[in-house]
Each structure stands twice: as C-alpha cells, then as structure tokens.
Structure 1
Amino acid sequence: MKLTGAVAIVTGASSGIGRATALDLARQGASVALVARRQDRLDALVSEINEIGGTALAVPTDIADRAQAFAAVAATVERFGRLDMLINNAGLMILGRVQDADIDDWDRMIAINQQGLMAMTKAALPHLLDAARGDRQVADIVNVSSVAGRMTFPTAGPYSLTKFGVNGFTEALRQELAGQKVRVGVLEPGKVDTELDSHNNDEILAHIEENFGGFRMLDPQDIADGITFMVTRPAHAAIAELWAMPSAQA
C-alpha cells in the first residue's frame, strides 16, 4: 500500500531504529513528524529527508512529559492536517539486578517505555480514527517492544516489566479497535546495533559484550524494514505481531 499523502509520527527518531524508520517512511511517500529530545539531530534528519525529496517536521519532545506528548501530536496535525500512522519507538533500557538497582532508573523506564507510549497513543487516537474513515480507509499504530517482552533474564526484570506491559497494552488496544480500520501491531526486536545499551554501567556493558559481541547484530534498518512492511500491507490485512531476531540469537 502506497504511503503518498499519509502522515506518520515516529518517536525516538533522533537515532537508531527511529531514525531508520523515519527515512524509510519518507522514501515511501509519507510526511514524517520526528519526535525525540535532541533538536540538533532532528534538524539534521529533516535536512536529510528533504534531500531525498521527502517531507519532515522536527518536534523536540520528551514523551515522558504527558503535556509534551499531547503537544507533539497537536503540532503534527496542525502542520500536516492529518495523522495516519503512529510509530511508538522511543525506549530506555537500564539493566541491573533488582537488589542493586536505583529505583529512579525504574521510574525513568516506566515513564518512557509505558507512560510515554500510552500518552502518545491517547493523543493520536482520535486523529487516527478520523484518517481511517478517510481516503486511505486504514490507519496504523506500531509499538516497538522487545524480545524482553516475551522472555526475560537476570538483570532485565524492570525492563522486561515495561516491555511485557507494552505487549499487553498493544493486544488489548488491537482488540478494542478491531473493525474500526485502525491496525495495531507490535514489533519485538532482538539485539540491534543502536545506542540502547549506552545508559548502562561498565559492568553491564561488559556483560552485554560477552553475550552479544560474538555475532552479527541486527541493523536499525532491519527493524525499519519490518515496520514499513507492517504499515504498507493492503487495508484488509493486518500484522498483529512481528518478532525479529539476529540469526545467531534466534
């Protein structure tokens, strides 16, 4: 399904999966609102999208702040007049054993991975429902979760809590919107070569290197390909769940 004339919001668009997805959707013809905290990176990505003939809007936002999340959606609709796709990609992963953890880190993950995602969804939903009744006859929500949302391991307890929650929220919303032409799907990546690890301490980083340094990780583009696949299906077809892993990890 062509995306010409459609409008997408991508959260976490300043790097990694979000950046690759924004570029991909722009190449497919969508106008893209880039939502993240780092203004300089968003401005650079707007320029890059313009250079390939696309259209993008930088919307500097901390989605953990509910008011900012709602304002980002409002700014997008004010600029482009509609909203057809919401890609909830922004996320934070801070690993560590529960007994040693800083509870403030848990609060930060919950604020971004769950509350931010839900605020963006709540703000976007009326516009997505309007779009689904319009010319394209379909709209999309894609929530980027993690394999840690379907299995867990030591040091990942709080992070897995947030991603198991994303999976549950996504499935409930999918059922609520069934029949209203808003498709809701979740994509669960395995290990991807992004900045996600960078918030962890040296001990955790060494542990990650020990476990994942010996094989080829996924590239952000691999996940962007999956997201683009989900939102370009014909209007009668929906992808509810996509699990993408490095071959060596699977």
Structure 2
Amino acid sequence: MTGTGTADAAKVVAITGASSGIGAATARRLAAEGHRVFLGARRTDRLDALTREIIAAGGSAAFRRLDVTDFADVNAFVSAARERYGRVDVVVNNAGVMPLSPLDALRVDEWDRTIDVNVRGVLHGIAAALPTMRAQGSGHFVSIASVGAYEVSPTAAVYCASKFAVRAISEGLRQECRDGSIRVTLVSPGVTESELADGIGDPAAREAMKSYRAVALPASAIAGAIAYAVAQPAQVDVNEIVVRPAGSAQ
C-alpha cells in the first residue's frame, strides 16, 4: 500500500460519477494503492473501459450503471458493492453537474437538475451507505464540493448553492458521527480539468468559463487529496480539504 498516510488495510470504495474527470482519476489512484473500487455512472461504456484498465494494471474494480438522482438506484449500487466485496468502507460522492447561467435566464430545468444531482445525489449516497457503515462499526464519506461552497460568483448562484448544501450536509453528518466510527471528508476543488463545463448551455457563461479555466488542476490532484484522506489512520478524520491551482484567486 502506497500513499501519504497509513491505511489500516485495503478498503472497498464506491465512487459515483466515476466515468470521467475526478471520479475516474480517483478510481485509478485508489486502485493503484490497493483498494477495491466499485464504480458508478450513467455511461457504462466508459466504466467498462476504466474497469478493464484498472484490472489490467493489477487492481481490483467492478462497476454498475448508476443514476444518483434515483435513490432506489443508489441503494442498489451500494448493495451491489457490498454483495461483491462483503462490505463498503468508503463512499465518494463525486457525481455533479455545473450548468451555469445568470438567474434572469430562468433556466429552471437546469436549476432542478443541479439540485437533483449535486444535492439529492449526495443525500442518496449517504442514505444508501449509512446503515451498512453503522452495522460495520466503521465507514467514511468523501463528498466533492467546490470552492463554490465558500464563495458565490455571477452565473453560479444555483451551482454555488448546491455546493454550500454539500458542505452543510457534510458538516451535519460529521457532528452526528462523533462516536468516531464514521469519518466525513469534504473535498473542495478549485478549477479542475473535467467535463463539467461542457454542460454549460448559456453562451455568455460558457465563454466566461473558457478564461476561468485557462489555468486548471489535473483531476489527479484532487484524486491525491481524496487518497490522502482515505489513507489516514482510523482515529484521524480529515474534515475539509480545499485544493486550488497555485496563485489562483478563486
């Protein structure tokens, strides 16, 4: 087992939004460190390719199609991970969308989608895995927020609101798990290479994002932060990690 911390043992890690970006990078990193990864996303062709890649490199991986907006589907995803590996030690709530637009554009469908994926998706991950972790007497939730969980910018009001919510949910869960059996980590990336910006339908917001993303972290940098939190000894709970490009104002 390699890494910056000392892991007690190989863990079973369920990752949502694992077909690209931070999710895929996290799967590669954690599998390389000896963990067994169970991958979920809607694009099963990508999940299949990533699973094959990890196995070919000597890692352990499996996947299941997943829609985080559907609680029954998330519950089935976590159950499938438990059935395959016997337990679920870590859930990485990574699935997210970022359809930016000014509020007066009235893109209500996009607002609803943002709330469904970014907020309900995290709550579904917690609800699906918390009973299992309680029964095991241990577990770890890692939820991906954003620097938008700490600040608001034009065109990003709804997106930032969703990430403020993820931050609040994570802190509430941490406080409710003070017996020390379940750890809670919030990872908040600054601008990072991903496909999130591809979903921006508003022309002005899409153009503004091009300059914002001129300097971006590789997804592997966020995967490294997640691996650090996961690798800590059981008595160490890394609560919040903010990762920005060096010199970034946001």
SS of alignment partner, residue 140 of structure 1: strand
Q: 1:114 deviation in Å?
A: 0.6
**1:4 offset after TM fit, Å?**
4.2
2:41 alignment counterpart: 36
Please name the residue that 1:219 is paired with.
Answer: 218
TM-score (norm: length of structure 1): 0.94
SS in 2 for 1:45: helix
CA shift, 1:144, in A, is: 0.3
Q: Which amino acid aligns with 1:232?
A: A
Matched, 1:119 2:118: no
Please give the alpha-carbon distance, in whole angstroms, between the structure 2 residues aligned to 1:75 and 1:125: 15
Residue 232 in structure 1 maps to residue 237 in structure 2: no
Once residues 128 and 86 of structure 1 are traced to their aligned partners in structure 2, the CA distance between those partners, rounded to angstroms, is 10
> Residue in 2 aligned with 1:48?
53
> Which residue number in structure 2 is paired with residue 197 of structure 1?
197
Task: Name the structure 1 match of 2:141.
Answer: 141
- In structure 2, relative to structure 1, the CA distance for the partners of 1:26 and 1:3 (3 Å cut) is farther
Structure 2 counterpart of 1:162, one-letter code = S
Corresponding residue for residue 172 of structure 1: 172
SS in 1 for 2:227: helix
Question: Aligned in 2, Cα 1:141/1:156: closer, same or farther, shift over 3 Å?
Answer: same
Match runs of 1:79-158 below 5 Å:
79-131=84-136, 133=137, 138-158=138-158
- The structural deviation recorded for 1:3 is 6.4
Secondary structure of the residue aligned to 1:2 is coil
Q: Indicate conservation of the 8 Å contact 1:2/1:29, yes or no.
A: no
- Whether contact under 8 Å (1:3, 1:28) holds in the other structure is no
1:241 is matched with which residue? Answer: 240
Distance, in Å, in 2 between the alignment partners of 1:153 and 1:210 is 14
C-alpha separation in 2, matches of 1:212 and 1:195? 12
Q: Distance in 2 between matches of 1:17 and 1:212?
A: 15
Q: Report the number of matched residues.
A: 243
- Structure 2, gaps ≥5 residues long: 1-5
Cα displacement (A) at 1:181: 1.5
Cα drift, residue 5 of structure 1: 3.6
Match of 2:18 in 1: 13
Tell me the SS of whatever aligns to 2:34.
coil
**Counterpart Cα distance in 1 of 2:85 and 2:211:** 46
- SS of corresponding position for 1:113: helix
Residue deviations 1:30-82 (CA, integer Å, cap 9, x gap): 11110100000000011011011111111111111111111111111111110
- The percentage of counterpart residues that share the same residue type is 37
- C-alpha displacement at 1:192, in angstroms? 0.2
The answer to whether the aligner puts 1:23 opposite 2:28 as a matched pair is: yes
Match of 1:209 in 2: 210
CA drift at 1:209: 1.4
Q: Note the C-alpha offset of 1:234.
A: 1.2
1:129–1:180 CA contact under 8 A, matched in 2: no
Q: Which runs of 5+ in 1 are unaligned?
A: none
Contact 1:106–1:158 (8 Å) recurs in 2: yes
Measure, in 2, the Cα distance between the counterparts of 1:98 and 1:182. Answer: 38
Question: How much has 1:139 moved relative to structure 2?
Answer: 2.2
Question: Root-mean-square deviation (CA), in Å?
Answer: 1.2
Task: Give 3-state SS (helix, strand or coil) of 2:67's partner.
Answer: coil
TM-score w.r.t. structure 2 length? Answer: 0.94
Shift of 1:203: 2.6
